[in-house]
């Protein structure tokens, strides 16, 4: 049995990038900074170390959410990990691991401009799973 679920919360590192496949499927790309606490071996102090996570939303929800997902917004995301690989035009092999978003919750209030330190009346999107599309339609 395999389980592929991930839950992260953090701040968006950039405005969402909305694109479409040739078949008309909307794809919204996000970057989320998730802090990890580590003890500095030299100073002995605890430090926040950011991890940068790529996230993707597909379908009609990508269109609907694109305008609200702006840099600095604090979000909680639930989804699954997906690994992809490709070859550059120069022949170099590349790969990445990203979160395909099933659910997203805004944790910043609308009037704070994304600069909230905690939950302040967040809105949860529909819990309908994001539809998946065949790999040949994904533009990367």
Identify the residue with better confidence: 134 or 30.
Answer: 30
CA–CA separation, 112 vs 110, rounded Å?
Answer: 6
Per-residue pLDDT tens over the stretch 83-107: 999 999 999 999 999 999 999 999 9
- Examine the pLDDT at 139 and tell me if it is beyond 70: no
Domain definitions of the chain by residue range: 6-36+47-126
Cα 134 to Cα 23, 71, 118, 122, distances in angstroms: 11, 29, 37, 32
- Please indicate, yes or no, whether the overall pTM of this predicted structure exceeds 0.75: no
pLDDT at 3: 95
83 with 97: CB under 8 angstroms? Answer: yes
Q: Are 84 and 95 in contact (CB under 8 A)?
A: yes
Report the topology of domain 6-36+47-126. Answer: OB fold (Dihydrolipoamide Acetyltransferase, E2P) (2.40.50)
97 within 8 A of 52, measured Cβ to Cβ: no
More confident residue, 79 or 108: 79
Confidence of residue 13 (pLDDT cuts 50, 70, 90): very high
């Amino acid at each position: 049995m395999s389980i592929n679920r991930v839950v992260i919360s953090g701040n968006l590192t950039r405005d969402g990038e909305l694109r479409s496949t040739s078949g008309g499927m909307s794809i919204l790309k996000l970057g989320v900074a998730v802090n990890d606490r580590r003890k500095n071996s030299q100073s002995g102090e605890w430090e926040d170390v950011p991890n940068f996570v790529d996230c993707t939303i597909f379908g009609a929800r990508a269109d609907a959410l694109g305008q609200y997902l702006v840099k600095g917004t604090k979000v909680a995301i639930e989804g699954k990990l997906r690994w992809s690989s490709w070859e550059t035009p120069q022949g170099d092999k590349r790969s990445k691991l990203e979160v395909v978003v099933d659910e997203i919750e805004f944790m910043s209030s609308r009037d704070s401009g994304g600069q909230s330190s905690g939950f302040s009346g967040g809105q949860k999107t529909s819990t309908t799973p994001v539809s998946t599309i065949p790999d040949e339609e994904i533009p990367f």
